[in-house]
Amino acid sequence: MENDTLIPAGEALAEIERLLDRVDSRRSGVDAKLRLDWVRQARRVNTRVGALASVLIGEADRAQAAERTSGTPLSSWLGMGETLSRREAGGAIAQGKTLQAHPGVGEAAVAGRVGAGQVRAITKVLDGLAPQLDPNQQTAAEQVMVELAGHLDAEQLAKAAGTVLAQVAPETANELLETRLQRDAETAQRARSLRFFREGASVRFDGSLPRLEAETWIAQLDAHSEALRRTAIEARDPASELATAEQRRADALIATIQAAANSTPAPGVGTARVIVKLDYQQLRSQAAAAGVIGDDQPLSAGELRRACCDAEVIPAVLGGASEVLDVGRAARLVTAPIRTALIARDGGCCFPGCHVQPTQCEAHHIQPWWAGGPTSINNLALLCHHHHGLVEPARYGLRDQWQVEIAGDGLPQFIPPARYDRERKPLRHQRHPETPPHPWKGNSGGESLAAAQTRVKQVGAGRY
């Protein structure tokens, strides 16, 4: 039987070492094709031996072999017999634990059916899917990923979650994939960071950005970098050949920083704007006195605004209670008139305690566009980038989060998570009046920022 030919791992490894000691180092006359064959074979052997080492490390860690024999953790034991750093030893143990958690992947790697890069991609996808699948589905997902490794490389496997879900959970695959993507996005948002290290005449930095924003940034840098490279080539600049791709990307970042520092922001986005607030009757009287309209001419708020807009008399028409009467035609994207009305109403980021100016804020759809929410003033709130992410509703609720709504008086107010306030009393920015009774809380009333600053002080630090 085939099992009779199997030998212990130790004997196989000893035989491999013995054969490696006999390898002839004289290869000057080797045929080119044979060289390539050897390269392929050496990589295959290296991958299989590396996988076996990881599996053996995982087994030794699970059996606490190092503690029982030497009284030290496995990470210390590895460093005692090899020139391994603590970080390298920790990485080896982590890889061993990963293959212990996914024995099918480990077996395929030792057999040479899965490469090292594929192992990393497969286990990352499986770990990401694990919270959504039962044990039987997890086992099936592992088998599917190993089969896919037969014709997909590591990068393709890293994107195969949808394919796996379609096979192991076809009825709920779309929902599970959407939930996973949402969880990944929220994890990336929480993990965002940017650190600077001043080192002599240089500043080194590293960090982490959510994928969507980072890809946009990378695309901008690469486009600028390519433009700089082409310009240097056309100018026959001899120094251009000395710049590496990383240096060109750094040059592109410097150029965009300088351009941002010297450019004039687009109207309504980066410039200071003066917004004059007039109620309907006041504007109508002044327009009539100026001869723009007749004394007894009946006009809607929109018609009155359009009659005055040629002279840029007023960008928004407001009612007596700061209610925006008209901001122009609604569209999917926020138009300039709608943004003007938001600035007039909110005055900047309207999250309690935030003082980011309107020029650095985004218009947030309270009821998402994908859920049928209109682009209208009573469905929008002005928020900075940070607080926009804090209240953005997801298709599938995975966390206890802040919510924003428009109160009965037309002003935005925020419902804190239950972990901050079990009663979830609404809060609003100090630039706005006290919160009116909440529409779904009866007459319980609201809470001003001054009365709640201590309770929500952690929000400013970006805690979810």
pLDDT at 406 over 80: yes
Contact 346, 381 (CB under 8 A): yes
- Quick check: 417 pLDDT over 90? no
* Angle ∠(83,89,92) on CA atoms, nearest 5: 125
Whether residue 101 is predicted with pLDDT greater than 70 in this model: the reply is yes
Most confident of 147-161, 275-289, 315-329: 147-161
Does residue 343 or residue 396 have the better pLDDT?
343
265/16: higher pLDDT? 16
Contact predicate 446/438, CB 8 Å: yes
Percent of the residues in the chain that have a pLDDT greater than 70, as a whole number: 73
Q: What is the mean pLDDT of residues 186-210?
A: 90
Q: Which of 100, 85, 99, 96 is nearest to 57 (CA)?
A: 96
Confirm if 398 and 179 have CB atoms less than 8 A apart. yes
pLDDT at 441 over 80: no
Q: Provide the pLDDT for residue 308.
A: 57
Cβ proximity of 392 and 364 under 8 Å: yes
Selection from 407, 399, 409 nearest residue 426 by Cα: 407
Q: How many CB atoms lie within 10 A of CB 383?
A: 26
d(C-alpha 25, C-alpha 18), whole Å: 15
- Highest mean pLDDT pick, 63-72, 208-217, 228-237: 63-72
Report pLDDT for 454.
39
Report the alpha-carbon distance of residue 297 to residue 279 in Å, rounded.
Answer: 17
Could you tell me which residues come within 8 angstroms of residue 421 by beta carbon, excluding any fewer than 6 positions away? 452, 455
| Comparison of pLDDT for 30 and 238, the residue scoring more | 30
Read off the pLDDT of residues 325-372 as tens digits, 9 standing for 90 and up: 444 434 557 778 888 889 999 999 999 888 888 888 888 888 887 777
Phi-psi region of 112 (alpha: psi -120 to 50; beta: other; left: phi over 0): left
CA 277 to chain centre: 39
Torsion over CA of 140, 144, 147 and 150, rounded to 10 degrees?
A: -150
Tell me what the mean pLDDT of segment 251-257 comes to: 85
For 24-38, 131-145, 228-242, which range has the lowest pLDDT when averaged over its residues?
A: 228-242
Nearest to 99 by CA among 72, 61, 155, 128: 61
Which residue(s) pair with 326 in the sheet? 317
Between residues 323 and 207, the one the model is more confident about: 207
How far, in Å, CA of 363 to CA of 391, rounded? 12
What Å distances lie between residue 392 and 133, 152, 201, 381, CA to CA?
A: 26, 35, 41, 11
Mean pLDDT score, 417-428: 85
**Contact present, 382 and 346 (Cβ < 8 Å):** yes
Phi and psi at residue 402, in whole multiples of 5°? -70, 150
Tens digits of residue pLDDT in 155-177:
999 989 989 999 999 988 888 88
Given a cut of 80, whether residue 260 has pLDDT beyond it is no
Q: What are phi and psi for residue 43, nearest 5 degrees?
A: -65, -40
- pLDDT reported for residue 356: 84
Please spell the DSSP secondary structure of 326-356, one letter per residue.
E-S---SSPPHHHHHHHHHHH-S--STT---
Q: How confident is the model at residue 120 (pLDDT cuts 50, 70, 90)?
A: very high
